[in-house]
A = this chain, B = another copy of it.
């Protein structure tokens, strides 16, 4: 077993993707000089180098990479070495068109961009593993090597005939018999019964709504097919270098991979986090991604990619205002990151991402971006000893599950206004604003360590997960559950009554009459607050306490928020302040206090190990009361009872006694 500490050596990794193949070699010397000045100690090589490493089938050109590995090592810069398998060279698509994906409309997805591979293609897999084998053999012993980075942002999908074969094999393994498959998919509906395995195809373009079970299984299958690609390469590098940790970088909160499942197959969990600088709640988003990744990692994690300035894939791409890159980077450290890395080191001059920022932007060495990077590099060095390897504690867990997401967000659902990640984000934001640090967990995970657990919205819950929730509450836990939860079983079969009977009993619901989704832009009044998106027509049991009722409209007087002992049910989405106040009130009752009571609204407080991070997300100077005496690691000063934080200011405090 190996983990991120094998790569860090108690030094926060700082650096980014490095693509020197885009530049003449004379630039490389300039690169390492500027890296050293900025405190860069880690770069990621080779992410998109397949065509350079294997310019034609079976050829190998390692010379340039040899020189780079040596150059970096000579300057004490470690290497995260990638397998370049995310973007096959043009020769592959040209010579082996069956490696190119087909979309659900049957259209070929061509080369000329990236990720144009069918994950089920044996030809693709053979080329990918052969090159991985040679890379591992050649560089496994190189002293610069710190981490293996497999592929990049696995996200391709394919509906081709080869994928159909693979899907059938996966289904055969899962169901064993066609009867079981027909039962699980409910193919009695609309005459969809399969009589022979050979009839089964991916859910391709159709006249109307598709079979939900087929769609759900195809999402599971695609995540698994990509995972097979990952594991094939991981097994190769792990065989060569059992001591070097392996990762693949997730896209944040992305639908295509079940990251709970994937993260168990990684030594290091890494993620790419790109909050929008123009989003007033970008800091909360970054906190959420950090919390989710830390929970998957069950310890320190790696921020594999972020942007030092603007990205280039939004409609309007806003730069980062002065100080924001530092604030969000230190926030990631606070929430458990032991590696702060970027896409990419030097901004590209050509290619589709030439407007994506780099640590060294088009403005160059004198540019604001690089100057801010230098400052950050120095501060990370200051924090490394104290921060690395330590834990960010959380008393509250937010439950999240990819399978529920996949089952929920299909055609033919109750409301297309419900955007699952946005609902999760609303609940995370409420707790973030309420000053509580949160973990994420799967509904079948052991929850007993948490004071409180919240479910923003889990449409699908397995019997196992329901058992788990019931025993959590029986064991003394406090559970707050959002709308439309526990409706479907693992085959996306609606449970009798529209919600699992044991859950209804838990929350004190006798009958769930109807779901009343709200139109976009409309609200529903409740006692003391307004809510959006959803409401429900419920009948409560005698034991249940109606915490808040609907007011007006068809649901007038019916319960909006129910409580049955330690189990709370929130049948709508309260507006942000109301959800914050509600969850704060439940947390207070459960004994889950804010990290720093009395902190100003814009100041986020997070503990990591024995450090207290104070992160100011506003531009106006505020005074933060901090009981006791502390040492500020960044300024070297002593803080006695309170401190001032300016625009995007950060303090990292350690208690020093009275």
Contacts and interface: CB of A to CB of B under 8 A. Distances in A.
Interface of A: 19, 21-22, 48-52, 55-56, 84, 87-91, 94, 101, 105-116, 156, 185-196, 198-201, 203-214, 278, 309-310, 312-313, 315-319, 321-322, 347-355, 361-364, 366-369, 411-417, 491-494, 496-498, 511-520, 537, 554
29 contacts: A19-B188, A21-B188, A22-B188, A52-B188, A94-B198, A108-B205, A109-B205, A111-B192, A112-B204, A112-B206, A113-B208, A116-B207, A156-B207, A186-B350, A189-B353, A209-B352, A210-B352, A211-B352, A316-B415, A316-B519, A317-B415, A319-B516, A349-B494, A354-B494, A361-B498, A363-B512, A363-B514, A368-B513, A368-B514
A113 B186 CA distance: 12
A405 to B, nearest CB: 17
Contacts of A188: 19, 21-22, 52, 350-351
A105 B496 CA distance: 43
Contacts of A88: 191
Contacts of A554: 321-322
B414 A211 contact: no
Contacts of A201: 110-112
A106 B100 CA distance: 14
A497 B113 contact: no
A189 to B, nearest CB: 3
Contact of A107 (B52, B105, B368, B491): B105
A157 to B, nearest CB: 9
Given A205-B107, A363-B513, A517-B318, A313 B52 contact: no
B205 A351 contact: no
Tell me the interface secondary structure of chain A in the complex.
Answer: loop
A363 to B, nearest CB: 5
Q: Which 5 A-B pairs rank lowest in CB-CB distance, beginning with the nearest?
A: A186-B350, A189-B351, A113-B206, A209-B352, A362-B498
Nearest to A517: B316
Given A211-B352, A309-B514, A493-B350, A51 B187 contact: yes
Given A91-B195, A351-B190, A366-B511, A110 B206 contact: yes
Contacts of A319: 514-516, 537
A186 B349 contact: yes
Given A196-B91, A198-B94, A517-B317, A352 B208 contact: yes
A235 to B, nearest CB: 23
A380 to B, nearest CB: 23
A557 to B, nearest CB: 13
A362 B209 CA distance: 21
Contacts of A198: 94
Nearest to A109: B207
B94 A203 contact: no
A151 B503 CA distance: 41
Contacts of A210: 112-113, 352
